[in-house]
């Protein structure tokens, strides 16, 4: 599903125009992004948790020439699905 399909499906479900739905998704994205930048976590009930984790410093090896490089620590966004979402995914049949 791409962004346009998501907006169309949501707009049909909540009885809003596609422009209003697009604006709501954009606002949601902005709020989540700004909260993650300020190192806050966001929990959406029955969906999951968005948070920022610090990835530790590590040593990486270039497989072509065998040189070792130090990769500095960095912050990465992380999503942890909630229990309800996990249970719904477990109920799906895998083909």
CA separation, residue 27 to residues 1, 21, 55, 62 (Å): 20, 10, 28, 41
The answer to whether residues 36 and 59 belong to one domain is no
The answer to whether residues 60 and 25 belong to one domain is no
Six-digit token pair at 70? 């130090």
Pairwise CA distance, residues 11 & 14, whole Å: 5
pLDDT score for 51: 95
The answer to whether residues 1 and 35 belong to one domain is yes
In which domain, by residue range, is 62 found?
A: 51-84
pLDDT score for 30: 94
Residue 80 forms part of a structural domain: yes
pLDDT score for 89: 87
Contact 39, 52 (CB under 8 A): yes
pLDDT score for 90: 87
pLDDT score for 24: 94
The answer to whether residues 30 and 64 belong to one domain is no
The answer to whether residues 36 and 55 belong to one domain is no
The answer to whether residues 64 and 34 belong to one domain is no
The answer to whether residues 29 and 8 belong to one domain is yes
The answer to whether residues 34 and 3 belong to one domain is yes
User: What does pLDDT average to in each consecutive run of 10 residues of the chain (95 residues)?
Assistant: 92 92 94 93 92 95 94 94 89 73
């Amino acid at each position: 599903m791409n962004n346009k399909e998501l907006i169309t499906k949501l707009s049909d479900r909540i009885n809003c125009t596609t422009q209003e739905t697009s604006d709501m998704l954009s606002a949601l994205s902005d709020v989540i992004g700004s909260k993650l930048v300020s190192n806050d976590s966001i929990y959406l009930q029955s969906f999951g948790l968005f948070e920022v984790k610090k990835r530790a410093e590590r040593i990486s090896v270039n497989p072509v020439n065998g040189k070792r490089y130090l990769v500095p620590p960095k912050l990465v966004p992380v999503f942890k699905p909630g229990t309800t979402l996990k249970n719904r995914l477990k109920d799906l049949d895998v083909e």
